[in-house]
Amino acid sequence: MLSAKHSELLTSVVINACSQAEQILERYDSDAPAFEQLMQNLELSPLLEKQFIAVGLRIAKDLCLSAGIRTSMLNRFRSPPPGVAVEAQRRAIEREVKERGLPMELAGDYADTLQRRIVADEQELPDLLWGYAAIYDLLWSDPRIGAGTPTRRIMLAMATVLRGRSAQLATTKSRNPQSSKGEAATHPEIQLAR
């Protein structure tokens, strides 16, 4: 379960992804092979906004929507998925983790990308990274996203990497509280990939 602050972050990411998905819907015919390929490519990325853009596009295609997917997306992710579906997803990924391990270096690279896209006050960054880690911790086994097992392994590893970075930044911040003064951002901006 996400805290209220982390739920707000998730909502922000979903809303941003919906905007991106609607821009894509303006440019593509949802029945075109290129549209399906785009969704599959988005699902290969462990970055949250790309996963949510893919979910938004699938919802739009399934419901024959050309816009207005925000409400459907928010409703879809307001309550948790069925526990049995999550458990089945977890087992499949955990089997592969036992066989192949976690791709920590790759997860670190994606965490770098995510961290570069976050536009927020330096004082807020540890909490934001912790929030992203909490979201990744829930979504790596969420059956509502279309990610395959290799991508989900990266997402699981990213939860660990992001928590580590958050803790490291918080420790640095507590050792040097004067390093960054300023107004904390209440709603961080996330620069989305185009």
Closest CA to 182 of 118, 128, 123, 116: 123
Q: What is the pLDDT of residues 84-94, one digit of tens each?
A: 999 999 999 99
Looking at 6-15, 72-81, 141-150, 159-168, which range is the least confident one? 72-81
pTM for this one? 0.86
Q: Check if the beta carbon of residue 59 is closer than 8 Å to that of residue 69.
A: yes
Strands 189-190 and 118-119, bridge-based pairing: antiparallel
Under the banding of pLDDT at 50, 70 and 90, the label for residue 185 is very low
Alpha carbons 33 and 8: distance in angstroms, whole number: 35
To which H or E segment does residue 54 belong?
Answer: helix 48-63
Give SS3 for 119.
strand
Alpha carbons 124 and 186: distance in angstroms, whole number: 9
pLDDT at position 68: 80
